[in-house]
Amino acid sequence: MFMLESHLSADQNRVLAEVQSAAGEANLSLFLTGGAMRDMLAGFPIRDLDFTTEGEAAKLAKALASRLHAAISEDDEGRGAFELRVPGGLTAQIAMARRERYPKPGAKPEVSPATIHEDLRYRDFTVNSIALSLNRASRGLLIDPTNGLGDIERKELRTAYNYALYDDPSRILRLVRLRVRLAFAIEERTASQYANVRAEKLEEKIPPRRLFEELRQIADEPNPTDVLHALEQENLLGVFSAALTGGKLNTAGLARLQKAQQAVPAGVKFPVQNFGLFLSFLTEKFTPKDKAALVKTTAMRKAEVEAWQKLDTHAKKLERDLKSPKLNRPSHVYNALSKVPGEEILFVLARTQARVVQDRIRNYLQKYLPMAQEVTDDEVKAVGVQPGTPKFEKAKLELIGKKLNARPKKPAPEEVEPPPPAPPPTGPAPLRRAYSRQPSAR
Ligand code: CTP
């Protein structure tokens, strides 16, 4: 528990405490599972929190959504899993412990409630099949029926059971992605199971929504281009889109996007919905027909298509606004950007040719936002307004504005020689790279 709490950010610890207390009130057995456990034990930053309950998770998830003011969505296939998006960008998954039986490869699984032990035994990889009890009587107990801890120590990806890839072939995509992100090796028997699945061309049986989910996960990777190259080498990019295998993989555009993402300083709260952003750059060279085919192959929903295809229009407007000569004080730039979704800002930063726009966004991300986030509610309360009211928000914005405008003048980046642009990567990118950034559903 100590290891866990010291690994989590303040926001994650707050969510952990709320989930534990709500599960206690509902008398549900609660466990921390999946990627959160893997990342903690392997020493990586924890991206999102995966909780598993013995017994139905729906009520608990809904109660938590209201307690945490989070957006809630249920998984596509009705498997009793819910995702909460907490304001500030954190995601937590609350899922019922379950056994999934696949009548044939890639088929819709038959789902039944299970114990935590059974749930863990039928997951994808051993490193993802570890649980930590968060129950009063056994808090801190590690449950590791497939010896995932041993595989974390060996840095190996091993299937949790012999049919893991055969049952759910989308796991071959996960295998490639996790291999790249964690820089783990694929254990020998798992490699031969992978080869068998490929020999039977089971990648063609991956259900559309699982392809979608995987695309969303790639978008959240710290280095999506490396994952795409690894999938290309494995001849797997075609499962998403034929255009990606026909020379339309937009490596240069994705490198520009990655450079923009790296402009966000570590530790600064700057929520970004990566999916639409990533797809916009991935499909930059696609024809409308290619795009329509991708929507169909992944059974993308209207809201998802819009998050991707409307970004361009929103970003154009933002770029125009940011060119305005009226934005001549830091507070003006801060006010113009602080209500805009992170993905729009990064889209503009990666695409714009206008120097003034680049400088304003960089200043916002690297100076104004960190400074604004240092302003505490207590400082605002001192002005005599109560938190939670519109007046309070207004007073806070004014206080931030004052502080930003009062900063001693330092040389603005306009006056500094810009670094040369990064050369586009040539050839396949190295696969062995540790990850450093933040975010999904079984
Ligand atoms: N899982 C599985 N089979 C899948 C997808 C997920 O067995 N096809 C299990 C794994 O145990 C995984 C957990 O469900 O750890 C949660 O899935 P997800 O959130 O997609 O992945 P994470 O492992 O949490 O990875 P990430 O760090 O990318 O969020």
Residue pLDDT, tens place only, 354-398: 999 999 999 999 999 999 999 998 888 888 888 878 888 889 999
User: How large is the average pLDDT for residues 102-106?
Assistant: 96
User: How large is the average pLDDT for residues 408-414?
Assistant: 59
Burial level of 118, CB count in 10 A (0-12/13-18/19+)?
middle
> How many C-beta atoms surround the C-beta of residue 284 within 10 A?
16
Q: How far apart (Å, rounded) are the C-alpha atoms in residues 430 and 424? A: 14
Give me the residues paired with residue 92 across strands. 49, 84
Give me the numbers of helices (H) and strands (E) for the chain, helices first please.
22, 11
Mutate to test the pocket of ligand 1, among 47, 48, 124, 179 (most ligand atoms within 8 A of CB): 124
User: How large is the average pLDDT for residues 104-124?
Assistant: 96
The whole-number pLDDT of residue 438 equals: 39
Ligand 1 closest atom vs CA 440: 19
What residues line ligand 1, using a CB cutoff of 6 Å?
34-35, 47-48, 50, 93, 123-124, 128-129, 168, 170-171, 174, 217, 439-442
Q: Is the pLDDT of residue 196 over 80?
A: yes
Ligand 1 closest atom vs CA 120: 11
Q: Closest Cα partner for 300 from 148, 76, 57, 36? A: 76
At 385 the three-state DSSP class reads coil
Q: Is the pLDDT of residue 193 over 90?
A: yes
Mutate to test the pocket of ligand 1, among 32, 49, 50, 85 (most ligand atoms within 8 A of CB): 50
The whole-number pLDDT of residue 246 equals: 75
Among the ranges given (66-75, 137-146, 400-409), the one the predictor scored with the smallest mean pLDDT: 400-409
Separation of CA 35 and ligand 1 centre (Å): 6
Q: Closest Cα partner for 268 from 360, 340, 374, 339? A: 374
Q: pTM of the full predicted structure?
A: 0.89
User: How large is the average pLDDT for residues 296-321?
Assistant: 96
Q: How far apart (Å, rounded) are the C-alpha atoms in residues 86 and 90? A: 5
Q: Is the pLDDT of residue 82 over 90?
A: yes
Ligand 1 closest atom vs CA 177: 28
What stretch of H or E contains 262?
Answer: none
Give me the residues paired with residue 33 across strands. 50
Closest Cα to atom 5, ligand 1: which residue? 442
Confidence of residue 419 (pLDDT cuts 50, 70, 90): low
User: How large is the average pLDDT for residues 181-194?
Assistant: 98
The whole-number pLDDT of residue 387 equals: 81
User: How large is the average pLDDT for residues 160-186?
Assistant: 98
What mean pLDDT value characterizes the chain?
Answer: 91
Confidence of residue 302 (pLDDT cuts 50, 70, 90): very high
- Phi and psi, residue 272, nearest 5°: -135, 130
Separation of CA 124 and ligand 1 centre (Å): 8
Q: How far apart (Å, rounded) are the C-alpha atoms in residues 221 and 232? A: 16
Q: How far apart (Å, rounded) are the C-alpha atoms in residues 28 and 171? A: 29
Q: Is the pLDDT of residue 219 over 80?
A: yes
Residue pLDDT, tens place only, 134-165: 999 999 999 999 999 999 999 999 999 999 99
Q: Which amino acid is it at 311?
A: L
Confidence of residue 425 (pLDDT cuts 50, 70, 90): very low
Q: Is the pLDDT of residue 431 over 80?
A: no
**Between 433 and 300, residue with greater pLDDT:** 300
**Percent of the chain surpassing pLDDT 70:** 92
- Phi and psi, residue 383, nearest 5°: -75, -10
User: How large is the average pLDDT for residues 49-73?
Assistant: 96
